[in-house]
Amino acid sequence: MSMDSPVSNLDPIKERKDVPLQDRWDVESLYATWEDWEKDFVLKVRPSQKPHWPELLHYKMKLSDEKLLKEFLDLYFLTDRQITKLYTFSHLKNDEDVAEEYARQANARMLASIYEYREELSWFEPELLSLTQDQIDYLLQSEVLKGYKNFLEKIIRFKPHTLSEEMESLMALSGRAMETPGKAFSIFNNADMKFPPVKDSLGNQHELTHGKYQLFMKSSDRELRKSAFCAMHNSYLQFENTLCELLQGQVQRHVFEKKVRGFASCLDAALFPHQIDEKVYTSLIAAATKNLPSLHKYFALRKRLLGYQDLHLYDMSVPLAPEAKISLDYPTAESLVIDSVKPLGLEYQEILRKGLTIERWVDRYENARKRSGAYSSGCYDSRPFILMNFNGTINDLFTLTHEAGHSMHSYFSHKQQPYPYASYSIFLAEVASTFHEELLFRYMFDRAQTKQERAFLVNQKIDDIRSTFFRQTMFAEFELKIHEFVEKDIPLTPALLKSEYRNLNLKYFGPEVEIDEDIDIEWSRIPHFYYNFYVYQYATGLSASYALAKNLFTEGESARKKYLDFISSGCSQYPLDTLCEAGIDMRGTGPIDALVKRFDELVSELENNLS
């Protein structure tokens, strides 16, 4: 780690072909070449014939026989596994450069194949649910089907919302068209969107990209922060009508599916598959609202410590202990992440070390037209892969460990669970990632050498909780509002969206912060609004992960074992039950209250260190 200038990486963005091999993920461990992928695509998808998977149709009208149902399910999951492997390669290659034609076409073909697979299998669930209750009970008690019992129970739970075979076929057929708003936003955001250069306080110009925007927001140069903030949001403002219609199209999709399947609301439809009560969502918003005075207290402290008369939204990420500003290169970030997970045991640490330093799990740096942001992806037959846009900031360090948490969750679930139960619920997805962040914070704080460095890290942790708990809950509240508007036949317009989004910013940021007009359009650049009620899980996940980490450091080995069992459980149980097994009850507000209490304590500690 070193002290560095506020903006540490202003090199021109490279073309993909110029990125060194060691900085790229090893996606070729899945398929060495596109030619190998094409051969497997032809073999497994059989694009020239219809139906593509006649061997599955062979079992139609035969599901009441336990042995034939077992044969069908074995073949069903084998086919799904093969398709998922093909898709994983195509989508990862596409994200390396979203405008590269071959990868884009291959990924489009793969997505089309997935929809055709769903269409050809649309008869399965209606036929299973058409069986008599006695037949269903017999199948659930069958020793032959023991390995599929949980899977079958989840399907049967859907009986009130499952349509006829003809209607399910139509729903599967419509799926590809329904993806258009999200796909159009993604290509617009990652390939077509261009930003003007921005100026710092000395008049120097800097290239603005998605990756560099986050870097600029942490700069001590206030003029650069303001310039980047205005340029970013004004760029989206030029397309407010188009972006409004894309978002409206996505919400209309959710409303359509909710109506067709007979759910009470879009929220109900999104939560039902994972057996999450709507109260978990609404209670989160209520708890965040109740605790907004704690957030507003922090903003008052930030305003005072920065010495500003007016605190603006572009002042939210600049460190309050700038003389301790931490910058680091990528290998150092890797080492810190690996060292920080030692409390989970040497085996866990060695798996992560090998993945990051030898097996090339990570695509490290931004390149031209590379997908923005960060994620962890992969499949049952691949390594976990991490997309990053690393710029050397402390935020990038925590992003790396966040995504590594996802990857280790996938690694252990894939290792310990059979394919049908290897993919964990999205409700659990943000637990392991934020758990990793907590381990890294504690590791770095314990080794901080100066009071200023400790203050810097506390400030970082405060802002992590602010952005992951409070900010994501604000997003969740906005997402709920826009769905309720469309459910009531109130059309979404740019004016309505900007007004509602502004009101939420006024509510969450409080009286100490100037709510710049530029922020009104921010809703238009948030990709998670196309994910169908995903963002609330960042807040619930952070609450659960803090409770798990607290248990780890107070209970030791028993808590470590529970955590490893948790990340090895896949979807073998419903998510709330899985967390209960790990010792965390998310049906109540206890974990949320504990997290807010921690937030208050950190704010007080920051004030004591810097006042």
pLDDT of 249-303, one tens digit each? 999 999 999 999 999 999 999 999 989 999 999 999 999 999 999 999 999 999 9
pLDDT at 521 over 90: yes
Whichever domain contains 172, its CATH number is: 1.20.140.70
pLDDT at 7 over 70: no
| Better pLDDT: 37 or 6 | 37
pLDDT at 326 over 80: no
pLDDT at 372: 86
What is the pTM for the complete model shown? 0.85
Choice among 13-22, 324-333, 352-361 with the minimum mean pLDDT: 324-333
Give 501's pLDDT tier (boundaries 50, 70, 90). very high
In a domain, 339, yes or no: no
Average pLDDT over residues 158-170: 92
In a domain, 117, yes or no: yes
In a domain, 71, yes or no: yes
**Chain-centre distance of CA 25, in angstroms?**
19
In a domain, 377, yes or no: no
Structure tokens at 251: 């919400």
Average pLDDT over residues 442-468: 92
pLDDT at 175: 86
pLDDT of 107-151, one tens digit each? 999 999 999 999 999 999 999 999 999 999 999 999 999 999 999
In a domain, 107, yes or no: yes
pLDDT at 8 over 60: no
What is the percent of the chain with per-residue pLDDT over 90, rounded to a whole number?
89
Sign of CA dihedral 109, 111, 114, 118: negative
Q: How many other CB atoms sit within 10 Å of the CB of residue 262?
A: 12
Domain of 117 in residue numbering reads as: 31-178
In a domain, 17, yes or no: no
pLDDT of 506-516, one tens digit each? 999 999 999 99
pLDDT of 395-445, one tens digit each? 899 999 999 999 999 999 999 999 999 999 888 999 999 999 999 999 999
pLDDT of 355-371, one tens digit each? 999 999 999 999 999 99
DSSP for 326-389 reads -B--HHHHHHHHHHHTGGG-HHHHHHHHHHHHTS--EE-S-BTTPPPS-EEE--TTS--EEE--
Non-local (6+) Cβ contacts of 23 within 8 A are 330, 363, 364, 365
pLDDT at 84: 98
Count of helix runs (H) and strand runs (E) in the chain: 26, 7
Residues 155/125, Cβ–Cβ less than 8 Å: yes
pLDDT at 381: 97
Average pLDDT over residues 553-573: 96
Taking alpha carbons only, the member of 376, 384, 380 closest to residue 402 is: 376
In a domain, 352, yes or no: no
pLDDT, averaged across the chain: 94
pLDDT at 325: 64
Structure tokens at 239: 């397309």
Average pLDDT over residues 523-534: 94
Number of domains in the chain: 1
Separation of alpha carbons 280 and 544, rounded Å: 13
In a domain, 150, yes or no: yes
Determine whether 403 is an active site residue.
yes
Taking alpha carbons only, the member of 472, 494, 476 closest to residue 484 is: 476
pLDDT at 13 over 90: no
pLDDT at 9 over 50: no
Q: Report the DSSP beta bridge partners of residue 14.
A: 367
Separation of alpha carbons 362 and 401, rounded Å: 11
Q: Report the DSSP beta bridge partners of residue 304.
A: none
Give 324's pLDDT tier (boundaries 50, 70, 90). low
Q: Which of 96, 119, 240, 403 is catalytic?
A: 403
| Better pLDDT: 395 or 601 | 601
Write down the H helix ranges in 22-100: 34-45, 54-57, 66-96
Q: Which amino acid is at 608?
A: N
| Better pLDDT: 395 or 351 | 351
Q: Helices 426-447 and 536-555 sit at what angle, rounded to 10 degrees?
A: 50
Separation of alpha carbons 586 and 577, rounded Å: 9
pLDDT at 323: 59
pLDDT of 78-93, one tens digit each? 999 999 999 999 999 9
